[in-house]
Structure 1
């Protein structure tokens, strides 16, 4: 039996929550016909680990909604971790009768889907995508069910202050590493803007971006180690996070903590 860890459960639950949110308006009508919900996820490619976790969470939802008198037909499409594919799959879901779309996990993919939904007049519920510009363009059919990067960062850094206060192990300085995709760049912008305003108990000495698709992160880890930071702030995706930690072990880079301000 395959075990589902906490990260997978949380990711899957986020999709389920989004679908439950779609179903809520149907409660008074007790609709007999199922609402056709198109779900866009990266089920293959670089974000497949996260996409498959979300899919598992989504698949349990129709039965729960049916018990509540809100039938849902779930139509799942694979974005293949590709912007153009996300766009074409969104168009196909709509052509196949989807009445609302949910997606698309990656911020860049979600923005592409949002443009399609706006053009076609079909609602899009953002299940996971933190880039704030998606909901800052005046779209009329796009609704956010996930916090923006500034919200994630402000709350994440505030929790770090509480964490280090409680443990009495405040680091002397931090280095920030982030994936250079749309999500990571949005998070980096939020960190650089908000960090100086939050009276953090340690300085941020350097920000380092990296290509999440790169197989070798030795240069980035070596650069982070050379700063002498004893705290690593990290905004990764699942697979590149694993490669990052393995490289840290290889280089014997042992900070007091590796913490994400929202990932």
Structure 2
């Protein structure tokens, strides 16, 4: 992972940029708190999304039934072609109610797509958060890296959602105006960025520990080899001295 001690020292200097979390916890404790918080938050969001998916299914069923009833009232008749059902319009002219049903069906389809996509992304983020907790407890960098990547992607999606939400008055009204909306979003983004920086710093700390342990093991092996070589050389010197002062029988 690291070829020389200079890289290890450089990594130690970089770690000093963030040496604690919220001034009361070290980086490992802070990473564990972040992991637990993200697991709880993503689990809560996942439950809401699953409930939303079940309700959207019921909504689509009701919408389909209402469209069939409206079609029958306006003179539509149903013709079966094998396993497919098609509606044919009679002499009644289409009304605004039909366009409303079409818009409602389109919005329901978009909602289903958004809910399923959000559920998949939230499930992946939940697994990455669990991996982060395991990596923080066991000091394993390879389990921390997936959460960092997922958090970076979520940060981009969050900023995009904030920009899109700024154009909807219904969202702004929930925060009592643009100023409160911008302040809340900026605070949330700043806290998320700080959490990402803390986890990255802990990952660098784990790398530095592995680096130091690696060079310590190499140094220990070198000292052991030198001690063995010195012991062998002393033994050889003693044997040569004994043989040089011995009689002829020692050489037989």
TM-score normalized with structure 1 length: 0.23
Point out the structure with the larger helix share. Answer: 2
Bigger radius of gyration: 2
TM-score normalized with structure 2 length: 0.24
More RCO (CA 8 Å, sep 6+): 2
